[in-house]
Amino acid sequence: MKIAVCIKQVVTREWQLRVNDQKTWIRDADASFELNEPDAYALEEALRLKEKQGGEVVVCCAGPARATQVIREALARGADRAIHVEGDALAAADAATIAAALAAAIKDEQFDLVLTGLQSDDQGFGQVGVVLAEKLGMPHATIIMDVQVQDAGLRVKRELEGGWFQWVGLPMPALLTIQSGINQLRYATLKGIMAAKKKDIRKAAVAPAVEPLQQILSLYVPEKAKQTQLLTGSAADAARQLVAKLRDEARVLQ
């Protein structure tokens, strides 16, 4: 089985976010970066499928040159090789642009399965996977919690709302977006880190410019504010006022 895993480099969660001068993205010149957590679970699932079915795991990343950091990490964890679509503009690109870049880079590889994380830790729109599936002409399923390979294709478990789950059958090739927590992550061993230095990273050309479907007009840190209201009258009156405010203004009561 030939599996592609799409990964992204994001700013570490511990880093103090600062908005750039244009107010359109974060100032990341001096930031520290890490592998997007949902993508780490997608990679782990691909490695487990390879251990059961045999084959190859290829990590694919669309991002600036610094994204080589997370590509090498993925190779150290057990991926066989990598494809890097390198471009500075991809660091803050929208889902349509990223999906177009990835699709152009991997369409000729004839993958049996493409895995992505459910969403990225920075933008969190959860769109790249489904847009990529459309561009590749693959059936897809989202929020996957279990993957079973069968003779006719795949049987996958989707997480729904309210604690419900859904089993879906898919033919291959297919694309799945993986939910965090589907498995237990492995970490790179010293042997894996040394081996990763010799593994191939193919540089892919950036696809022709795609008209962004989304644009960030303004980005800002939420302002901290607080307000105190005094409820007057008897205890019963104050309780009625409090319930009304919680229901009508705060909307935390039905």
Q: What is the mean pLDDT of residues 176-203?
A: 94
Residue 52 CA neighbour count, 13 Å, CB half: 11
CB-based contact 146:156 (threshold 8 Å): yes
- Does pLDDT of 28 surpass 80? no
CB-based contact 67:61 (threshold 8 Å): yes
Q: What is the mean pLDDT of residues 164-189?
A: 94
Confidence of residue 122 (pLDDT cuts 50, 70, 90): confident
State pLDDT tens for residues 242-254. Answer: 898 888 887 888 7
Q: What is the mean pLDDT of residues 185-208?
A: 90
Q: What does pTM read for this prediction? A: 0.83
CB-based contact 34:61 (threshold 8 Å): no
Residue 7, helix vs strand vs coil? strand
- Look at residues 195, 202, 192 and name the one whose alpha carbon lies nearest to residue 82: 202
Q: What is the mean pLDDT of residues 136-145?
A: 96
CA distance 6 to 207: 16
- Look at residues 116, 100, 97 and name the one whose alpha carbon lies nearest to residue 42: 116
Give the total residue count for the chain. Answer: 254
Within 58-155, residue ranges assigned H as helices are: 68-77, 95-106, 128-136
